[in-house]
Amino acid sequence: MRLSLEGRTALVTGSTQGIGAAIAAGLARAGARVAVNGRTEASVTKAAEQLRAEVEGADVIPLAADVATEEGARAVTERLSTVDILVNNLGIFGATPPLEITDEEWRRYFEVNVLAAVRLTRAYLPGMMTRGWGRIQYIASDSAVVIPAEMIQYGVSKTALLGVSRGFAKAAAGSGVTVNAVIAGPTHTGGVEEFVYQLVDRNLPWDEAQREFMRRHRPQSLLQRLIEPEEIANMVVYLSSPQASATTGAAVRVDGGYVDSIVP
């Protein structure tokens, strides 16, 4: 199966590192013109240079803006008026005891993890529907289904994304635009390494710390290891392709079997 996205323009939010950077690289390898997004010029410039070095001939658009704000989202849409593939990857996470999560923190998680994606969907979905083709994806999490006790504010924000995805898929019904959520399981990124060390002994070597984390905090994983960002990206590239034209309104799992369910 050859997945070609030649002639398509993609925007991946929060794509200067981790899963977002892997998604941007995967889309570029498939031939898409890719907009790399982050909050600072320095981080975006560095990520764009790395992407060009990693993918020969990559057509990269650096877009520095905080899309978790109305001003940042407006700056992105003014710079990039037309998008064929929108991957709402931006997200924050962190461990906080449930009874210590403040109103301010709840609002921050909703602004960054949910409203940022909603704003960009509102901006780009109408044009996709008019053109009769488009792909919108939301990077959700196993935490949307299996709410973790140590970060319920994160889990609830990702649950909201599943609802947002399904709702916008209905809004796009019959238009040729597909809208899906990707349920990513525990994934190996720099941010996750720091999170792991919040929960296990910081003096442990990484491989041992990872095993201890999975054993104690994610024992239901069938993969029994952290997922690599490229494995998430592979699913995103497929869902962005013409071959995925009949998949919409779905919550597609790349979770290593973490969610104990036989229904997606």
Q: With the C-alpha atoms ordered 211, 213, 219, 221, is the resulting torsion angle positive or negative?
A: negative
Which three-class secondary structure state does DSSP give residue 259?
A: coil
Contact 42, 68 (CB under 8 A): no
Cα 174 to Cα 57, 122, 128, 153, distances in angstroms? 35, 17, 12, 34
User: Of 241, 223, 130, nearest to 184 (Cα)?
Assistant: 223
Taking the C-alpha atoms of residue 167 and residue 153, their distance in angstroms, rounded to an integer, is 21
Do strands 9-12 and 33-38 pair parallel, antiparallel, or not at all (unpaired)? Answer: parallel
Indicate which residues carry an active-site annotation. 154
User: Of 67, 58, 105, 108, nearest to 86 (Cα)?
Assistant: 67
Q: Half-sphere exposure (CA, 13 Å, Cβ side) for 231?
A: 16
